[in-house]
Amino acid sequence: ETGVTQTPRHLVMGMTNKKSLKCEQHLGHNAMYWYKQSAKKPLELMFVYNFKEQTENNSVPSRFSPECPNSSHLFLHLHTLQPEDSALYLCASSTTRDRDNEQFFGPGTRLTVL
């Protein structure tokens, strides 16, 4: 497997469920990102990790909890979500956090909250 992979590709969950999204990159990158893509809205950056350390949290509600156990893996733990959290969640990685470095995106997890 090459590039950035995300699992699952689709997820339906109730508001009381707990689930996790997984992202894995095989590119040797040190920076990883979570984005939220909602219909008709610009891509929203949620979290940034650099060398496993969280460097940015863009005022994301605490019902979203990221985890980065190593530079290759990134998780997004979900609990007590709201229907408005339904969206495509994209993971990305880059060599460093510098804007000069291309971000490589995974295919996303399509999340539906009932």
Partner 1 sequence: AQSVTQPDIHITVSEGASLELRCNYSYGATPYLFWYVQSPGQGLQLLLKYFSGDTLVQGIKGFEAEFKRSQSSFNLRKPSVHWSDAAEYFCAVAAGSSASKIIFGSGTRLSIRP
SS3 state of residue 85: helix
Q: Is 94 in the site for partner 1 (CB under 8 A)?
A: yes
Tell me if 90 sits within 8 A of 108, measured CB to CB. yes
| Binding status of residue 56 toward partner 1 by CB under 8 A | yes
Q: Which two tokens stand for residue 82?
A: 């709201």
Q: Please tell me the distance from the alpha carbon of residue 47 to that of residue 41, in angstroms, as a whole number.
A: 18
Q: Compute the least distance from the CB of residue 33 to partner 1, in Å.
A: 7
| Closest listed residue to residue 22, CA positions, set 37, 11, 14 | 11
Of 42, 53, 70, 84, the one binding partner 1 (CB under 8 A) is: 42
The verdict on 90 binding partner 1 (CB under 8 A) reads yes
Q: Residue 84 carries which DSSP code? A: G
Instruction: Answer yes or no whether residue 75 interacts with partner 1 by CB under 8 A.
Output: no
Q: Is 97 in the site for partner 1 (CB under 8 A)?
A: yes
| Alpha-carbon span 22 to 5, nearest angstrom | 8
By CB under 8 A, which span of 11-19, 40-48, 64-72, 77-85 interacts with partner 1? 40-48
**Which positions touch partner 1 (CB under 8 A)?**
4, 31, 33, 40-43, 45, 48, 55-56, 90-92, 94, 97-108
